[in-house]
Structure 1
Amino acid sequence: MTAPGQVSVETCVTPALLPLYDVKNSIVVVIDIFRATSSICYGIDNGASAIIPVAQVEECAAYHGTECLLAAERDGEVVEGFDFGNSPFSYTPEKVAGKTVVLTTTNGTQAIHLSRQAKRIVIGSFLNLSTLSHWLLGQGENVLLVCAGWKNKFNLEDSVFAGAVARRLTGAGFQPDDSSIAAMDLFDLAKDDLGAYLQKTSHSERLKKLGIEKDIEFCLNVDITTSIPVLEGEKLVKL
């Protein structure tokens, strides 16, 4: 445990910058608001026994013939031949309770894979914001907020969420880096109406073109789950 008063909260705005951070000495929070980490939080809260994040479609396909549900998404769409993608509406109790889901996505599962050297990896979304922030406050460890972004580029929605977490931690004595300060400023601009602020994002536009605006709206619900998915070995399970 890091000494009191010395804990930091840092924000990595794209996985491409992860080599610049001290991942091994941090609790990493992986963030992919539209839609992977929102769906993971929802699925675990709805009773999925585990979600196995894999980086490649081929790794997911290797589980064909098992009892696992297979979820694969690329560029916002379900990959042909898989059970579903990363829409939160695919992670209802009726579909996932008691099941293991193998998941690969364009951005979120890549960020998890690249963060594997962390002290611990947990999953964040607006859905579990308060539960996650409260837990982080009690750990006394450096926190690294890893934004999945879009294909290694910055995106707005992940950074706004990082700002929401950083705002809570900074208020309790964590020392923010400049990226966290910028993220907090973005969150302050967005917090009164997340939907209005984030409707202009590029990924929001991609999802709208696919006719799945309801996914965007759902992923901006705040505090509707109380579970924190944590990576244990190869599986994300309920903390």
Structure 2
Amino acid sequence: MNKIEVCFSPELIHLHELRGKIVVVVDIFRATSTMVAALAHGVREILPFADLEACRKMQDKGFLIGGERNGLTAPGFEMGNSPVAYLQGNYSGRKLAMTTTNGTQAIEKSRGAQEILIGSFPNLQATVTYIQKKEKDVLIHCAGWKGRFNLEDSLYAGALVKSLESTHYADEDGALAMKSLFEKEGHDLKSYLSQASHAKRLQNHGIESDIDFCLTLDLYELVVKVDGRGFLVGVK
């Protein structure tokens, strides 16, 4: 069997070996959920940026630009970080440049892995199936919140550990703990995660529909991965 482990924050990624592993980057509220939604509804590819200004400049190259800081759309950007904004397919065929408070930073810090996948609840089973065909060790990289642990990304990690238990074993405490938490609370994600600090931040911005989407399981049979150019692409 292959091994699975969890990194709870980009600030801790230096403690983990990336080489030879599949790294699953997860930012449930909302970056990775938004990336999956955008690609599932026709966006051609996504170029993630850690830096706000570098992302903004991509508008001059014909990209749709999405920017978020502290839960709000960054000034001067066409899009924020809402998955619901893409569900009507209004941006089909466009290329998207995207920067967020936590998620795109985690992608940047995952470079060096054999493969980087984008994890969300709406494509959980597709991601599980893809990983099980690869027979590689897995590291789940939680984006957290400004370097700190957060509940929603870590609970997704538990869901992935649980879903992969037939092919991957967890031998470190973080993965074991999150698997146990998901087994206890995963039957009602929305109720449990309503107490999460970032869920409350988003509720204060009046975007409960985003939260509902982000906690819906298996909407898409779509795997999202980082290709050789550094773009996120959807693979069915």
Q: Shorter-chain TM-score: what band?
A: over 0.9
Alignment of 1:235 onto 2:225: no
Out of 182, 203, 209, the position equivalent to 2:177 is 182
Alignment of 1:145 onto 2:140: yes
* 2:170–2:176 contact (8 Å) kept in structure 1: no
Deviation (angstroms), 1:114: 0.4
Q: SS in structure 1 opposite 2:144?
A: coil
Q: What is the rounded CA distance, in whole Å, between the counterparts of 1:73 and 1:176 in structure 2?
A: 36
> What TM-score, normalized to structure 2?
0.96
Alignment of 1:78 onto 2:73: yes
Q: What is the rounded CA distance, in whole Å, between the counterparts of 1:224 and 1:147 in structure 2?
A: 21
1:82-161 matched pairs, under 5 angstroms? 82-161=77-156
Out of 26, 31, 36, the position equivalent to 2:26 is 31
* 2:22–2:117 contact (8 Å) kept in structure 1: yes
Structure 1 vs Structure 2 CA RMSD: 1.1
Gaps of 5+ in 1: none
Q: Which runs of 4+ in 1 moved over 6 A?
A: none
Deviation (angstroms), 1:174: 3.0
Q: What is the rounded CA distance, in whole Å, between the counterparts of 2:187 and 2:170 in structure 1?
A: 25
Q: What is the rounded CA distance, in whole Å, between the counterparts of 1:107 and 1:121 in structure 2?
A: 16
Q: What is the rounded CA distance, in whole Å, between the counterparts of 1:173 and 1:161 in structure 2?
A: 16
Equivalent AA in structure 2 for residue 171 of structure 1: S
Deviation (angstroms), 1:78: 0.2
Q: SS in structure 2 opposite 1:72?
A: strand
* 2:26–2:143 contact (8 Å) kept in structure 1: yes
Paired positions, count? 234
Q: Are residues 141 and 106 of structure 1, via their aligned partners in 2, closer, same or farther at CA, if it must alter by over 3 Å?
A: same
Deviations 1:182-207 (A, max 9, x none): 11112112211100000000000100
Gaps of 5+ in 2: none
